[in-house]
Amino acid sequence: MKYLPSFFLVLAMLLAPMTATALDIKEITYTTKDAGKVIFSHNIHMKQKMVNSNCKSCHDNIYDMKKKSSYTMAQMEKGKSCGACHDGSKAFPLKDCSRCHKVKEISYLKNAGGTTKFSHEQHLTKYQCGACHPSIFAAGPNKRATMADMEKGKSCGACHNGKKAFPLSDCGACHQIKDVTFKIKETGPVKFSHTVHTKKQKCNDCHAKIYPMGDTRRYTMADMENGKSCGACHNGKPLFSVSECAKCHPVKELSFKKIQGAGPASFSHVAHLNKKVSCSACHTKVYPLGRSNKVVTMEEMYNGKSCGVCHDGKQAFSSKDWCVKCHDM
Is the CB of residue 242 less than 8 Å from the CB of residue 221?
yes
What is d(CA 311, CA 121) in angstroms, rounded to the nearest whole number?
68
Mean pLDDT, the chain, rounded, equals 84
Q: Is pLDDT larger for residue 328 or for residue 58?
A: 58
Mean of pLDDT values over 271-295? 84
What is d(CA 40, CA 62) in angstroms, rounded to the nearest whole number?
15
pLDDT digits (tens, 9 = 90+) for 162-216: 999 999 988 888 888 888 898 888 788 899 998 889 888 888 888 888 988 777 7
CATH architecture of 105-173: Alpha-Beta Complex (3.90)
| CATH superfamily to which 254-325 belongs | Cytochrome C3 (3.90.10.10)
pTM: 0.60
pLDDT digits (tens, 9 = 90+) for 101-123: 888 888 887 666 678 889 998 99
pLDDT digits (tens, 9 = 90+) for 41-51: 999 999 998 88
Neighbours of 236 (CB within 10 A): 10
For domain 20-99, give its CATH number from 1.10.150.120, 3.90.480.10, 3.90.10.10, 3.40.630.30: 3.90.10.10
What is d(CA 107, CA 282) in angstroms, rounded to the nearest whole number?
50
CATH architecture of 180-242: Alpha-Beta Complex (3.90)
What is d(CA 185, CA 176) in angstroms, rounded to the nearest whole number?
28
Name the residue type at position 48.
Answer: Q
Equal CATH topology for 20-99 and 254-325:
yes
The radius of gyration computed from the CA coordinates of the chain, to the nearest angstrom, equals 38
The residue ranges of every structural domain in the chain are 20-99, 105-173, 180-242, 254-325
Is the CB of residue 118 less than 8 Å from the CB of residue 105?
yes
